[in-house]
């Protein structure tokens, strides 16, 4: 079991409250932290590692609009934070393990594009990225067998 700390962020941007707890996975810890935070923004930490920034659903929509509007005239990866890029890279490597030598360029590029689209829509957790990567892997498998 990993140790986590959920920190609720106040309107002034400062930590309003926090609570330590243990969970078996990041995904379960995120669910727990969302319940704790309610309608306030929060951060989920595991030691010194930021696991996830949590926003209320109305806040997520605003962030998605900001991300989409900032996409014009910039490179795609510039809009994604370091944590998201690290998550995407991890999921890509994890997914491509099924291929000999980690997969060829075309397969990796296909899966990476799907991950990038997912992240641009605001779906940046490991669970969400894994779901998309496995869907892309299934698409590749179907294309190969057809």
DSSP-assigned letters across all residues of 47-116:
TTEEEEEE--HHHHHHHHHHHHHHTTTS-GGGGS-HHHHHHHHHHHHHHHTTSGGG--HHHHHHHHHHHH
The confidence score (pLDDT) of residue 135 equals: 95
- Mean of pLDDT over the chain: 82
Answer yes or no: is pLDDT of 47 > 80: yes
93-115: pLDDT as tens digits: 999 888 888 888 888 999 999 99
H or E segment and range at residue 46 = strand 42-46
Least-confidence region, from 11-25, 70-84, 93-107: 70-84
Please tell me whether the overall predicted TM-score, pTM, comes out greater than 0.85 for this model.
Answer: no
Residue boundaries of the structural domains of the chain: 2-54, 58-145
Contact assessment for residue 10 and residue 40, using Cβ atoms and an 8 Å cutoff: yes
For residue 40, the 8-state DSSP code is: S
């Amino acid at each position: 079991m990993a140790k986590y700390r959920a920190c609720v962020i106040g309107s002034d941007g400062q930590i309003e409250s926090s609570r330590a707890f243990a969970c078996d996975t990041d995904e379960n810890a995120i669910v727990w932290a969302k319940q704790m935070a309610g309608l306030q923004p929060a951060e989920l930490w595991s030691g010194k590692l930021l696991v996830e920034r949590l926003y209320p659903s109305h806040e997520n929509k605003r962030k998605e609009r900001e991300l989409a509007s900032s996409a014009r005239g910039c490179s795609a990866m510039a809009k994604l934070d370091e944590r998201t890029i690290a998550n995407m890279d991890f999921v890509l490597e994890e997914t491509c393990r099924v291929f000999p030598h980690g997969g060829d360029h075309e397969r990796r590029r296909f899966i990476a594009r799907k991950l990038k689209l997912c992240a641009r829509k605001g779906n940046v957790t490991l669970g969400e990225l894994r779901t998309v990567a496995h869907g892309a892997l299934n698409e590749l498998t179907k294309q190969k067998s057809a």
